[in-house]
Amino acid sequence: AQTVTQSQPEMSVQEAETVTLSCTYDTSENNYYLFWYKQPPSRQMILVIRQEAYKQQNATENRFSVNFQKAAKSFSLKISDSQLGDTAMYFCALIFGNEKLTFGTGTRLTIIP
Amino acid sequence: KAGVTQTPRYLIKTRGQQVTLSCSPISGHRSVSWYQQTPGQGLQFLFEYFSETQRNKGNFPGRFSGRQFSNSRSEMNVSTLELGDSALYLCASSPGTGGIPETQYFGPGTRLLVL
């Protein structure tokens, strides 16, 4: 079975600062993807970034980047130059094969003006 | 491309009633997954449909069922509603190629309140 753990229930940071959200996971699979999804107050689940496990290079999407440590089974999200619109719940998730997404419990991030 | 759409967006039902939720995937996507989100249990997988067949199923009672049509649109049904079924129901679609991980794209969700 796959597990995803987010140990930071809540975080807050000043606008324009950098924040890192942590995620660890456990799987015996070799071919899997990891994701960060964002869920703002509207409750829409929005894809932030994806990392394929077979890729050594860390994924980046504009202000969002990940630190993927496969051996340590760690997958953290760094948000640079944080903006008020980044306020949301952030979920780390894992998928392999045709299987379901396994989600962590989420981190509530608040950007303070 | 248009995103995943879900209807209705909000529903209020009473205990014992049944409800049907609808999901239209991104054009060309053949796999549709359903998730239930509650404050207590977080995000839980209900089931996944591909080519009109249920391919994966989560650990939910038989009151929860679904189906997929030939145009890949999917519906889920909950019969004999209980208070604990109050939740946000999220639908996600993916291309549906075989055997490899895929990115799932979510709809806006249906908020169900059972009174």
Closest-CA distance of chain B to residue A34, Å: 9
Q: Name every chain B residue with its beta carbon within 8 A of the beta carbon of A27.
A: none
User: Does B34 lie at the interface with A, CB-CB under 8 angstroms?
Assistant: no
Rounded CA separation B68/B96 (Å): 13
Q: How far is CA B4 from the centre of its chain?
A: 11
Nearest alpha-carbon partner for B43 in A85, A19, A95: A95
The mean pLDDT of A42-63, rounded to a whole number, is 95
Q: Name every chain A residue with its beta carbon within 8 A of the beta carbon of B93.
A: none
List the structure tokens of B93.
């679609």
User: Does A12 lie at the interface with B, CB-CB under 8 angstroms?
Assistant: no
The mean pLDDT of A21-49, rounded to a whole number, is 95
pLDDT of residue B97: 76
pLDDT, averaged across chain B: 95
B104: nearest CB among A43, A96, A101: A101
Instruction: Compare all CA atoms of chain B with the CA of A101 and give the residue at the minimum distance.
Output: B45
Q: What percent of chain A has pLDDT over 70?
A: 100
Question: Please, are residues B28 and B47 in contact by the beta-carbon 8 Å criterion?
Answer: no
CB count, 10 Å around CB of A40? 13
Query: Is the confidence at residue B2, as pLDDT, over 90?
Result: no
The mean pLDDT of A34-49, rounded to a whole number, is 96
Rounded CA separation A38/A19 (Å): 14
Query: Is the confidence at residue B16, as pLDDT, over 90?
Result: yes
pLDDT of residue A30: 87
Interval A70-103: pLDDT, tens: 999 999 999 999 999 999 999 999 998 778 899 9
Range with lowest mean pLDDT among A85-94, B22-31, B34-43, B89-98 = B89-98
Nearest alpha-carbon partner for B5 in B109, B85, B79: B109
pLDDT of residue B11: 97
